Structure formats: structure tokens, C-alpha cells
Amino acid sequence: MSVTIKRRTGWLGSFSNITVLLNGEKVAKIADYQVLELSIQNKNADLQVTQYGFKSNKISVTEGNMVEITATKSSYILYYTIVLFILLLSISTTLNVIPLTTYSVLLLLGFLLFIGSFFFVTMHNLKVINQYH
């Protein structure tokens, strides 16, 4: 019995493999635009993926399912927010617009928000796209 997994996450995170969890255990890694066939022991299993500590939604799969991994809109929003935040801090520091203490506080808050996003942002979406039953 097997499940087919397709990764279609685009450029975001494409330089790193995604870890595939089957029933909570790491079983494989998948690169961007790769197709992976996983054997499942029972008639169904729980599937989830993780990358850089971010987890996807968890879905239940059965024999013959084809699952697609995609990047979520929130992952792109988080990426662009971080880039914009760093850019604005860099510019404001270069132009001496904000004092060093304010810069340090903003940097710490940005770091805390980024770490917090590990718990609140789903970076990848798993979806059954085809069933062979």
C-alpha cells in the first residue's frame, strides 16, 4: 500500500528539502518538484511535513492517494514582511532616523515575532488531489 506525494512549493524554501512525517515519525525528505512514493502499513495514516521548524497541516491519507505539497499565502506574507522589516531597519539605522535603543527594541520584537510565527503560521499546505479507489 502506498501514497504518492508531489512537492510544488515554488521558489520559497526551494533550496531545502522538506521532511515528511508519517504518523508523527520522520520517514523521508522531498526536494522541490520531486515526486515521492511512500509505503503505509495500515489502510490509512496521518501525513504532515516540516521545514525549518515550520509544520504543515496534518491530513489523513489512504492507499492510492496522491498528495500535493504547496506553499501557503501566509508563508509568502511572512517572508516579505521579514524582508521589509529588515530593509526598513537597515535604512533607518543608516540614516540615523531612530536611536540605537529603539533599534534594539524593534530588532528584539521582530525576532520574537519571527520565533512566534513558528507556532502560528502554517508554511505548507497538504491536499489530496487524486484518489485511486
Contact 71, 9 (CB under 8 A): yes
Beta strands in the chain, from DSSP E residues, in sequence order: 2-7, 18-22, 25-30, 35-39, 44-51, 54-55, 59-62, 66-71, 124-130
Phi, psi of 73 (to 5 degrees): -60, -35
Q: In terms of pLDDT, which residue wins out, 62 or 97?
A: 62
- Confidence (pLDDT) at 133: 47
Residues 66-75: tens digit of each pLDDT: 999 999 988 8
Q: What is this structure's pTM?
A: 0.77
Which residue segments constitute the domains of the chain, with CATH numbers given? 2-130 (2.60.40.1120)
Cα separation, 105 vs 101, whole angstroms: 6
Give the residue from 2, 65, 62 showing the smallest Cα distance to 28: 2
